[in-house]
Amino acid sequence: SERTKVKLLLESGVVGAEVAAMGWVRTKRGNKNVAFVALNDGSTIHNIQVVFDMTRFTEEQLKGVTTGACIAVRGLLVESPGSGQRVEIQANYLEVLGEADATTYPLQKKGHSMEFLREIAHLRPRTNTFGAVLRIRHAMAYAIHKYFNDKGFFYIHAPIITGSDAEGAGAMFRVTTLDLENLPRTEDGKIDWNEDFFGKEAKLTVSGQLEAELGALALSEVYTFGPTFRAENSNTPRHLAEFWMIEPEMAFYDIQDNMDLAEDFLKYLIRYALENCADDLEFLNKMYDNELIDRLKFVIENPFERLTYTEAIKILEAANQKWEFPVFWGADLQSEHERYLVEKHFKKPVILTNYPKEIKAFYMKQNDDGKTVRAMDVLFPKIGEIIGGSQREEVYDKLLSRIHELHIPEKDVWWYLETRKFGSAPHSGFGLGFERLLLFVTGMTNIRDVIPFPRTPKNCDF
């Protein structure tokens, strides 16, 4: 069609040109002589004003132009005297493409609560807030690919259906074609997965890391970027059952190189958002969180604090705080501890390293102290853990003995072990939770509001 996107019209439309636009009506006001319609097509947070001179249109023609309706207009692009925009459209043609009954359209002019908008996830992209979030989400996805492509990393597509359990956290969704009413059983009464589609128990992946490692041990520097699934029943503002994860994996990187990459990567993405999503960030800054843009700038301008888990525990023990979860060496850090370090103590992002091996996954490189592993978590203000990663154990015997200690069946990881048998190499990687990044960049406070269709316990409607 000959339509021009609203963003282009507002930014570079030629005054005096005949233009066409299509979009959804945000508001209509006016009197019997003139009607002003704010039109939005999602290309930008800004609406274009369309002016209807009522000597050229009838009341009847404009009846279908109500909040939520979809319309097509043509007219003259003129300088705008008062709409706050450079230009507006002086309409000479109107077609209502899709009406929206004003009495039942759920999105009204007044603001709506985030909770209400979650119940109408099919319509919430039409709000300013979700338009902004979705455009920023797109920009971040694009920037992630650009960052790695420019560095010579290769994008590896890890499988979504998998037979392996990368994190060993035991919170996986099962994929099955079995008839649940008549489950096939083995002689000892267990479900006979041999009878299922894959001839074994299949699950939705919790992480593409193990596959990324296979890629790194052939292509040197790779990354995955895909959906991952966790059946943990954690109903928090920072957990989803289906979330997207970016997992770079690099041969010949040690834990220091890994930290450097993680810090550079996060700063690149935030800078990219500031430079390319300015309108949307300004809107969010004004609407919800007037420190958002300052916080983003602060993070890109200051080095992250780096310390060990053991040092962090000492700080937390010395803190004059009533913890909900107790602090002691060996404890898994909770979000209250992580946020204390970042928001109260250091007042900037923190990278913690060398965690106790008991609270981390089997594949992490063991330190010589016999107690800690070369893990690294990046902690962010307002978020807590945004990245989890490590240097990987590349020594066959050490990896095997850890697998035995944790009673991981060798037959499940033989292929992973073989990479340590044939041409093993030191390597490292990490996982960035895409929605956690978006929480930070948009300033939204609930992870359900930075993904189009959130999947959480008891919520999978559409």
Q: Which parts of this chain interact with ligand 4AD (CB under 6 A)?
A: 166-167, 207, 209, 230, 239-240, 243, 245, 247, 385-390, 429-431, 433, 435-436
d(CA 224, CA 214): 12
Stretch binding Mg ion (CB under 5 A), from 48-56, 146-154, 255-263, 380-388: 380-388
Strand ranges, E, within 368-426 = 372-380, 384-391
Per-residue burial over 185-211, b if 16 or more Cβ lie within 10 Å, else e, is eeeeeebebeebeeeeebbbbbbbbbb
| Contacted entry of ligand 4AD, Mg ion, none for residue 387, CB cut-off 5 to 8 Å set by kind | ligand 4AD
* Minimum CB distance to Mg ion, residue 449 (Å): 22
User: Would you mind telling me the total number of residues written for the chain in this entry?
Assistant: 462
* Minimum CB distance to Mg ion, residue 167 (Å): 8
* Minimum CB distance to ligand 4AD, residue 135 (Å): 21
| Contacted entry of Mg ion, ligand 4AD, none for residue 436, CB cut-off 5 to 8 Å set by kind | ligand 4AD
- Contact (CB, 8 A) for 109 and 27: yes
Determine which residue in the list 388, 429, 443, 454 makes contact with Mg ion, applying CB under 5 A. Answer: 388
d(CA 41, CA 75): 17
Stretch binding Mg ion (CB under 5 A), from 131-139, 287-295, 387-395, 400-408: 387-395
* Minimum CB distance to ligand 4AD, residue 114 (Å): 17
Q: Give 51-120 as a DSSP string.
A: EEETTTS-HHHHTT--TT-EEEEEEEEEE-SSSSSSEEEEEEEEEEEE---TTT-S--SS---HHHHHHT
| Contacted entry of ligand 4AD, Mg ion, none for residue 13, CB cut-off 5 to 8 Å set by kind | none
Question: How far from the centroid of its chain's Cα atoms is residue 218's Cα?
Answer: 28
Q: Give 320-370 as a DSSP string.
A: ----SS---TTPPPPHHHHHIIIIIISSS-EEEEEEEGGGS-TTBPBPTTS
Residue nearest to Mg ion (CB): 388
| Contacted entry of ligand 4AD, Mg ion, none for residue 433, CB cut-off 5 to 8 Å set by kind | ligand 4AD
| Contacted entry of ligand 4AD, Mg ion, none for residue 88, CB cut-off 5 to 8 Å set by kind | none
| Contacted entry of ligand 4AD, Mg ion, none for residue 209, CB cut-off 5 to 8 Å set by kind | ligand 4AD
Total chain residues near Mg ion (CB under 5 A): 1
CA torsion sign for 119, 125, 126, 130 is: positive
d(CA 380, CA 441): 11
| Contacted entry of ligand 4AD, Mg ion, none for residue 381, CB cut-off 5 to 8 Å set by kind | none
**Number of other residues whose CB lies within 10 A of the CB of residue 406:** 12
d(CA 157, CA 420): 22
Selection from 413, 361, 421 nearest residue 162 by Cα: 413
Nearer to ligand 4AD, 75 or 208 (CB): 208
* Minimum CB distance to ligand 4AD, residue 326 (Å): 22
Nearer to Mg ion, 117 or 364 (CB): 364
**Number of other residues whose CB lies within 10 A of the CB of residue 59:** 9
| Contacted entry of ligand 4AD, Mg ion, none for residue 254, CB cut-off 5 to 8 Å set by kind | none
Nearer to Mg ion, 216 or 387 (CB): 387
* Minimum CB distance to ligand 4AD, residue 216 (Å): 11
Query: CA dihedral defined by 328, 266, 383, 138, rounded to 10 degrees?
Result: -150
* Minimum CB distance to ligand 4AD, residue 352 (Å): 12
CA torsion sign for 406, 412, 414, 420 is: negative
| Contacted entry of Mg ion, ligand 4AD, none for residue 386, CB cut-off 5 to 8 Å set by kind | ligand 4AD
The DSSP secondary-structure symbol of 220 reads S
Which element (helix H / strand E) includes 267?
helix 255-276
Nearer to ligand 4AD, 340 or 434 (CB): 434
* Minimum CB distance to ligand 4AD, residue 106 (Å): 28
Nearer to ligand 4AD, 13 or 433 (CB): 433
Can you give the binding site for Mg ion, defined by CB under 5 A? 388
